[in-house]
Structure 1
Amino acid sequence: MNFLDVKDRKPQKSGEFIDKAEEGDNYIIKLSEDKVYEVAPIAYYIWAMCDGEKTVNDIVEEVSKEANIEFDQLKDPIVQVLEQLQQATLITL
């Protein structure tokens, strides 16, 4: 998956935030009773922005402004995170 293919899609998160992990900085997201995921802070941050309204392009722009990092440096890593979230069924893209 590349940025140009998904830039206008509006990812929608699935599951619910449960808590921060007991150790480390990770976050716990629960999909169902038997599907619970521990995700890195950046993955959680991106997952939380997947509201079905923002496009992938909007998400990259927002992270770019927040982190003060060039848009072009972020688009591929963010698409990779979205792809991993999609594979875990934590978002629909």
Structure 2
Amino acid sequence: MSYAELKSKKFTHKGEETGATEDTFYVTDENQVTYEMSAAVYYIWKVSDGTKSLEEIVKQASEELNIPVNELEEPIAMIITKLLESNLLAEVK
């Protein structure tokens, strides 16, 4: 899904953090399947706490990383889409 389709939606993470190494994070879902995440994917998963829209998450990441919002919109939307497909995020209705 594109940023435009997702920007006003809120998401909450599912699963539990079950470990980490220097630059890799592990999250286990409700079926006990463990996923390996890069730092960028883990960051998006972690800040998706059900209180912020995708637009707010992108703005937060932009401020923290000092990267223009427009450069983060589609990459973060793609991460959100993959996390939804993996059942590691759920849309807050």
How far apart are 1:78 and its partner, in Å? 0.3
Q: Name the structure 2 match of 1:9.
A: 9
Distance 2:32 2:17 in 1: 15
Q: Name the structure 2 match of 1:39.
A: 37
> Helix, strand or coil for the counterpart of 2:17?
strand
Unaligned stretches of 5+ in structure 1? none
> Helix, strand or coil for the counterpart of 2:19?
strand
Query: What whole-Å deviation, never above 9, does each CA across 1:19-54 have from its counterpart, x for those lacking one?
Result: 104xx6110001135311111110000000111110
Matches within 5 A, 1:1-93: 1-21=1-21, 25-32=23-30, 34-93=32-91
> Helix, strand or coil for the counterpart of 1:54?
strand
> Helix, strand or coil for the counterpart of 2:34?
strand
TM-score (norm 2): 0.92
Greater share of residues in strand: 2
* Percent of aligned positions that are identical: 29
Unaligned stretches of 5+ in structure 2? none
TM-score (norm 1): 0.92
Large movers: runs of 4+ above 6 Å: none
The CA RMSD over aligned residues, in Å, is 1.2
